Amino acid sequence: MTWLVWRQHRIQFYVGAALLAAFAILIVITGVQVADQFRSAQAACAMHQGCRHLGGLFMGSHIVGFLVISTLGAPVLVGLFWGAPLVAAEAEAGTTQFAWMQSVTRRHWLVVKIGWMLVAAAIWGGVISVLVTWWSSPNNAEQLNQFNPGRFDIMDLVPVAYSLFAMALGIAAGALLRRVLPAMAVTLAGFIGVRAVVALWLRPHYMSAVTVFYKVTSGFTPPGAFWQIAQGVVGPNGQVLPQPNNTPLFDGVPQTALPASCSSLFNGPGNPSPTASCAQALSHFRGFLTYQPADRFWTFQGIETGIFLAIAFALIAVTAVVLLRRDA
C-alpha cells in the first residue's frame, strides 16, 4: 500500500521538497547575515557601555521578513494541495473503486494513506518552523515580541500542529464532499476560521491574564517577551478612561481628564515636567497593564498545540467513520 501511496503522490512530494529546499536556502543565507548584524550591533553597544535597547535596528531584508511572516499561511498549503485531493480526487476519478477492490481493506488503505500524509504535514510544518524560529532568534532577543499574535503562530511547536490540522481538515473535507474544488474551498475557509477563532478568542484565556496597576508617571514594563492584552488608565473615581483618538495624552492620560494646571504639559516643547498641582492631579490616575507573562510562552505553545492536535484527531476520526460506513 505504501508503494501505491508513494507512486501516486511522489510528484506532490517532489514539489513540496523543492519548495522547502528553496525556502531553507534563502532562510539560511539571510539568517547568517542577520545573526552577524545582531552580533556586531551588540558588540558596538558593549563598547559604548549602555545601549540596552537596540531600538530601531531592523534585521534582515524586507522581502525575507515578509516571507517569514507569510509562513503564517504555510500550513494551509498542505491541506489545500495534499489533503483536500487525497480522497476527493480519487472519488472524482472513481479510482477508489480500483483501490478498494484489491485485496486490501478500506481501513488499511485509509491508515496507510492518511498516516503518510500526516507524516508529510508534520515534516512540512516542522521544517518551516525550525527555519523561521532560528532566523527570528536575533529579532526575538531584540524585540521581545515572540509571544505576540502573528509571531507566536509561526514559531516553535504550533506550526506543526497547524499543518496537521490543515491536512486533517483537507482530508475530511475531501472525504465528505468528494469533490476537489469544494473541498479546497472548505479547507481554506475552515483553516482561516478556526485559526482566527482560536487566536483571537481562545488564546488570551488559556491562563488568566495578569493585571498590574502602576503610577502613570513611573510606568511599568514586565520582564521578557510578555504578551500585552490590554493597557489603559484608571481615573480618580476608579473608572477606565476612554482614550479618544484626537486627544493628546500625557503618560496615557488624556488632556481632557486633567485640570487646567496641566495644560503646560501639552503646549510646551520637549519633555516638560508637571507643576506641583498638576503632579498632584496626575497621582490620582493609575495605569494598568493586562498581559500574559513571558514565562508562559511554552505553556501557551503546548495548549495551542494540544487544541489543534485534538481537532485534527477528531477530523481524522470523522473521515474514517464516513469512509468505512458509507457506500463506496
Partner 1 sequence: MTPTENVLGPVGPRPGGHGGSSDPAAVRTSGLTKHYGRVTALSDCTINVPEGRISALIGPNGAGKTTLLRLLAGLARPTSGQVTVNGVTPHQDPAFLADIGYLAQEIPLYRRLTAEDHIRAGAHLNPRWDGESVRERLTGLKIPLNRAVGKLSGGQRAQVALALILAKRPRLLLLDEPVAALDPLARKNFLGLLADGVAAGGLTVILSSHLVADLERVSDHLIMLAASRVQLCGEIDDLLAEHRILVGPRKDTTALERSHRVVQVTRTPRQTTLLARLNGPVIDPAFQVSEVGLEELVLAYLGEDASPTLAHLNTVGEDQ
Q: Which residues bind partner 1 (CB under 8 A)?
A: 1, 3-4, 7-8, 93-108, 324, 327-328
Complex with partner 1: residue 10 or 39, whichever CB lies closer:
10
- Start-to-end C-alpha separation, the chain: 18
Complex with partner 1: residue 49 or 103, whichever CB lies closer:
103
The answer to whether 174 and 84 have CB atoms below 8 angstroms apart is yes
The three-state secondary structure class of 233 is strand
- C-alpha 304/C-alpha 165 separation (Å) is 12
Scanning 101-231, the segments in alpha helix (DSSP H) are 106-143, 158-177, 180-197
Complex with partner 1: residue 110 or 278, whichever CB lies closer:
110
Q: What's the full length of the chain, in residues?
A: 328
**In the bound complex, what is the minimum distance in angstroms from residue 21's beta carbon to partner 1?**
24
Complex with partner 1: residue 48 or 325, whichever CB lies closer:
325
* C-alpha closest to that of 209 among 222, 198, 218: 222
**In the bound complex, what is the minimum distance in angstroms from residue 322's beta carbon to partner 1?**
14
**In the bound complex, what is the minimum distance in angstroms from residue 323's beta carbon to partner 1?**
11
**In the bound complex, what is the minimum distance in angstroms from residue 85's beta carbon to partner 1?**
12
CA angle 97, 103, 107 (to 5 degrees): 75
**In the bound complex, what is the minimum distance in angstroms from residue 174's beta carbon to partner 1?**
16
**In the bound complex, what is the minimum distance in angstroms from residue 34's beta carbon to partner 1?**
42
The answer to whether 117 and 8 have CB atoms below 8 angstroms apart is no
- C-alpha 200/C-alpha 187 separation (Å) is 19
Name residue, grid cell 498581559. Answer: 291
Complex with partner 1: residue 106 or 179, whichever CB lies closer:
106
**In the bound complex, what is the minimum distance in angstroms from residue 142's beta carbon to partner 1?**
49
- C-alpha 133/C-alpha 262 separation (Å) is 47
**In the bound complex, what is the minimum distance in angstroms from residue 13's beta carbon to partner 1?**
14
Complex with partner 1: residue 3 or 201, whichever CB lies closer:
3
Scanning the chain, the segments in alpha helix (DSSP H) are 2-48, 62-70, 74-78, 84-93, 96-99, 106-143, 158-177, 180-197, 263-267, 276-282, 297-325
The answer to whether 132 and 71 have CB atoms below 8 angstroms apart is yes
The answer to whether 248 and 173 have CB atoms below 8 angstroms apart is no
Complex with partner 1: residue 94 or 269, whichever CB lies closer:
94
Complex with partner 1: residue 22 or 93, whichever CB lies closer:
93
Residue 16 grid coordinates: 513540496
